[in-house]
């Protein structure tokens, strides 16, 4: 059904909900590349005004991708909670925006609403919001998960320690793990992107992390970010798998390109749960997403990249993950051209993820051929910290020498915690103090002191 809106004497026509959402999106290179972006700022304003007047129920009645041809659409429709949706069911997209920003929408109300919102609704209201609106609402959302550490509590910021190495060299990886632990990082996960996706490589890296963790009773979890089928294979062989990782997307066709199905993810989750390796919780999945993945696979069905990204969060939500993060600037300038677009996308992804009830983090990053630099990442880091992001990445020197992109460093995590008064996960915070890495006020010591610090140094050297 065609939607029209007039601005300045010109009437703009939008032939579908998908077209309306695309034209209402902030400008970004991926939507221009796909040929679906607004042709002018005036058309973008007209689309947003038309979108603000649209009843929320329209998105329930008109799936953007047909139910019969896409299992992500089927998941969204079949899992929708009508009772949770009831409080906002009579609203328009614009009215929902106003309510989300009001004092009536507190953490408790937003938590109750999450199962009643579809990704398309979240994406639609996101397009009507300024950056400060995304921060204000995201900060009110609270999603807490746990395995050996509890992530997402108020006043906390967790960090994935990312000790990647271009040849999976155990000494290099162990040195990076030690470096990160000394800066108080690693409470979200110690997660390695393997240079080779094989059961043997994954098993070897899992044992390396597990040896360090067990020797010092570190309250964190490990993950080797191999394909889900590799994780299933090594679990069958008895490898110490804590978290099962997979990149996911918002269309069946994109997930097909990743070599996954929803049934496969469900099987892997049950397999990981059966290992019973968690101590304070049972969230065993780790997902990564990112705007542009569906377009790069030519599997976006004419949808704008922010809306497709939000649909990926419905996939994540179905499997109760410990961690979800958008690798926001990793795909490249073809999809997010510069620092401004990366900053906006990071805030959008965090807002939509939290609104839909998933434990959202962000790999605040860019590739070296993008029009962005570390100052842009400092800005997004600070904004996401203010918005209540669950976790960020900790990469040695902020430069991933295996994946060849720029992210955030162990120092960046210290800056954010100190500036905003944030602490690590409570179990990890207690461990840092016990190991004399942090003092009673949570400050990282300028040098290792005491017998426990010396033991950690020696043990890491031994693991290498």
Confidence band of 39 (pLDDT split at 50, 70, 90): very high
On the question of pLDDT at 450 being above 60, the answer is no
CA distance linking residue 297 with residue 280, whole number of Å: 38
Tokens 């590799």 found at? 230
- Lowest model confidence (mean pLDDT) among 97-101, 115-119, 242-246, 437-441: 437-441
- Mean pLDDT for the stretch of residues 454-461: 55
Q: What is the pLDDT of residue 448?
A: 54
- Over the stretch 294-316, which tens digit does the pLDDT of each residue have? 999 999 999 999 999 999 999 99
On the question of pLDDT at 164 being above 50, the answer is yes
What kind and span of H or E run contains 325?
strand 323-327
Q: What is the pLDDT of residue 77?
A: 98
Backbone angles phi, psi at 452, to 5 degrees: -65, -40
Task: Show Cβ contacts of residue 443 under 8 Å, excluding neighbours closer than 6 positions.
Answer: none
pTM of the model: 0.95
On the question of pLDDT at 266 being above 60, the answer is yes
Report CA dihedral (107, 113, 119, 121) to the nearest 10 degrees.
-100
Tokens 């033991």 found at? 455
Q: What is the pLDDT of residue 454?
A: 55
On the question of pLDDT at 453 being above 70, the answer is no
- How high does pLDDT run on average in the chain? 95
Confidence band of 440 (pLDDT split at 50, 70, 90): confident
User: Do 262 and 71 contact (CB within 8 A), yes or no?
Assistant: yes
Instruction: Return the half-sphere exposure (C-beta side, CA atoms, 13 A cut-off) of residue 397.
Output: 9
Q: What is the pLDDT of residue 12?
A: 94
Task: Show Cβ contacts of residue 63 under 8 Å, excluding neighbours closer than 6 positions.
Answer: 73, 76, 77
Q: What is the pLDDT of residue 464?
A: 43
CA triplet 363, 366, 370: central angle to 5 degrees?
Answer: 160
Tokens 């309510």 found at? 99
Backbone angles phi, psi at 167, to 5 degrees: -120, 15
CA triplet 47, 48, 54: central angle to 5 degrees?
Answer: 90
On the question of pLDDT at 390 being above 90, the answer is yes
């Amino acid at each position: 059904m065609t939607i029209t809106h007039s601005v300045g004497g010109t009437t703009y026509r939008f032939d579908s909900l998908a077209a309306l959402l695309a034209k209402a999106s902030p400008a970004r290179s991926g939507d221009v590349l796909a040929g679906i972006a607004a042709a002018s700022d005036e058309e973008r304003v007209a689309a947003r005004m038309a979108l603000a007047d649209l009843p929320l129920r329209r998105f329930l009645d008109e799936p953007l991708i047909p139910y019969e041809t896409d299992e992500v659409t089927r998941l969204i429709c079949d899992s929708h909670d009508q009772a949770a949706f009831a409080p906002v069911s009579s609203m328009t997209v614009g009215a929902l925006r106003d309510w989300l920003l009001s004092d009536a929408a507190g953490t408790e109300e937003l938590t109750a609403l999450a199962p009643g919102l579809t990704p398309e609704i979240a994406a639609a209201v996101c397009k009507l919001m300024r950056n400060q609106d995304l921060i204000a609402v995201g900060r009110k959302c609270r999603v807490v998960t746990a395995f050996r550490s509890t992530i997402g509590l108020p006043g906390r910021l967790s960090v994935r320690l990312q000790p990647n190495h271009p040849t999976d060299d155990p000494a290099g990886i162990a040195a990076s793990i030690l470096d990160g632990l000394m800066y108080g990082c690693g409470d979200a996960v110690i997660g390695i992107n393997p240079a080779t996706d094989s059961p043997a490589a994954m098993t070897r890296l899992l044992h390396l992390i597990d040896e360090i963790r067990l020797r010092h009773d570190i309250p964190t979890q490990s993950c080797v970010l191999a394909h889900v089928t590799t994780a299933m294979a090594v679990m069958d062989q008895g490898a110490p798998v804590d978290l099962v990782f997979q990149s996911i997307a918002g269309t069946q066709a994109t997930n097909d390109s990743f070599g996954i199905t929803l049934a496969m993810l469900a099987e892997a989750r049950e397999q990981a749960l059966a290992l019973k390796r968690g101590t304070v919780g049972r969230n065993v999945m780790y997902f990564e997403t990112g705007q542009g993945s569906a377009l790069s696979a030519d599997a976006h069905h004419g949808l704008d990249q922010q809306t497709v990204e939000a649909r990926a969060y419905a996939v994540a939500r179905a499997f109760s993950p410990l961690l979800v993060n958008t690798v926001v600037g990793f795909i490249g300038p073809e999809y997010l051209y510069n620092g401004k677009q990366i900053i906006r996308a990071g805030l959008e992804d965090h807002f939509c993820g939290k609104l839909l009830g998933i434990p959202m983090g962000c790999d605040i990053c860019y590739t070296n051929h993008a029009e962005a630099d570390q100052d842009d990442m400092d800005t997004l880091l600070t904004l996401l910290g203010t918005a209540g992001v669950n976790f960020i990445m900790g990469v040695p020197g902020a430069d991933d020498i295996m994946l060849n992109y720029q992210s955030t460093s162990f120092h960046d995590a210290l800056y954010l915690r100190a500036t905003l008064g944030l602490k690590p996960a409570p179990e990890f915070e207690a461990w840092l103090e016990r190991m004399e890495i942090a003092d009673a006020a949570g400050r990282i010591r300028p040098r290792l002191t005491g017998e426990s610090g010396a033991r950690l140094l020696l043990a890491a050297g031994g693991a290498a």
